[in-house]
Amino acid sequence: EAGVTQFPSHSVIEKGQTVTLRCDPISGHDNLYWYRRVMGKEIKFLLHFVKESKQDESGMPNNRFLAERTGGTYSTLKVQPAELEDSGVYFCASSPVAATGELFFGEGSRLTVL
Amino acid sequence: GENVEQHPSTLSVQEGDSAVIKCTYSDSASNYFPWYKQELGKRPQLIIDIRSNVGEKKDQRIAVTLNKTAKHFSLHITETQPEDSAVYFCAASSPKGTYKYIFGTGTRLKVLA
């Protein structure tokens, strides 16, 4: 069974540009989470989807970040316009509807804003 | 706000020795405490977890202890091996957010051969 996949693995952009990160959760997982790790700090919650609905977006830093989950399958996280402080590793995780607690993480998308 | 403190940030041990990583959480409603291991360039993976209704859980060389009163939980790795070298993250979760995790800052463990 395929795990959570994220694309791209690494993106380098200039300040002010736009980047879109994509996450494909494990098939059948209704819960999808986005997290971010800024270098040396904690992995911080951004938001949580249940199917296509945003359950909790309390961790989204500001309105430059837009997350969508089309049809309750894959999700995208768009940063527009990107700022230097947006650099970090963006992790996606998923879990089934009958969640036991374990989140299944992707390998992350490293974003570098110059 | 809710937070999880994790110590130490780096830990070096000789192969065969034990390693202990400690975390403290702030939200008394937290009831699920997973530990994730992230090897270099790979995804974080769950290695062990504990729920608030138990005080200790063991899986081979790995154990986790939980002190609800003090809001502390710890990861213990015995007989460390080079392949244990990784970054370890503790997390706390409450029923409020359907397993929305609050993570610690991570511990980089180096096991020296």
Instruction: Give the H/E segment covering residue A94.
Output: strand A88-95
Confidence at residue A99, expressed as pLDDT on a 0 to 100 scale: 64
Across the range A18-39, mean pLDDT stands at 95
Q: In this complex, is the C-beta atom of A4 within 8 Å of any C-beta atom belonging to chain B?
A: yes
Q: Which residues of A touch B26 (CB under 8 A)?
A: none
Q: How many helices (H) and strands (E) does chain A have?
A: 0, 11
The DSSP line for chain B is ---EEEE-SEEEEETTS-EEEEEEE--TT--EEEEEEE-TTS--EEEEEEETT-SEEEETTEEEEEETTTTEEEEEE-S--GGG-EEEEEEEE-GGGTS-EEE---EEEEEE-
Confidence at residue B99, expressed as pLDDT on a 0 to 100 scale: 66
Confidence at residue A93, expressed as pLDDT on a 0 to 100 scale: 96
Across the range A85-104, mean pLDDT stands at 88
Q: With an 8 Å Cβ cutoff, are B103 and A31 in contact?
A: no
DSSP three-state, residue A49: strand
Q: With an 8 Å Cβ cutoff, are B93 and A107 in contact?
A: no
For the four alpha carbons of B93, A41, B46 and B20, in that order, the dihedral sign comes to negative
Q: With an 8 Å Cβ cutoff, are B43 and A101 in contact?
A: no
Confidence at residue A101, expressed as pLDDT on a 0 to 100 scale: 79
Question: Is A41 a residue whose pLDDT tops 90?
Answer: no
Closest partner residue to B103 (CB to CB) among A43, A95, A102 is A43
Lowest mean pLDDT among A3-17, A86-100, B41-55: A86-100
Confidence at residue A79, expressed as pLDDT on a 0 to 100 scale: 97
Confidence at residue B98, expressed as pLDDT on a 0 to 100 scale: 63
Confidence at residue B100, expressed as pLDDT on a 0 to 100 scale: 81
What is the b/e burial string over B13-29, where b = at least 16 CB atoms within 10 angstroms of the residue's CB? beeeeebbbbbbbebee
Question: Is A87 a residue whose pLDDT tops 70?
Answer: yes
Stretches in chain B below the pLDDT threshold 70: 1, 95-99
Confidence at residue B25, expressed as pLDDT on a 0 to 100 scale: 96
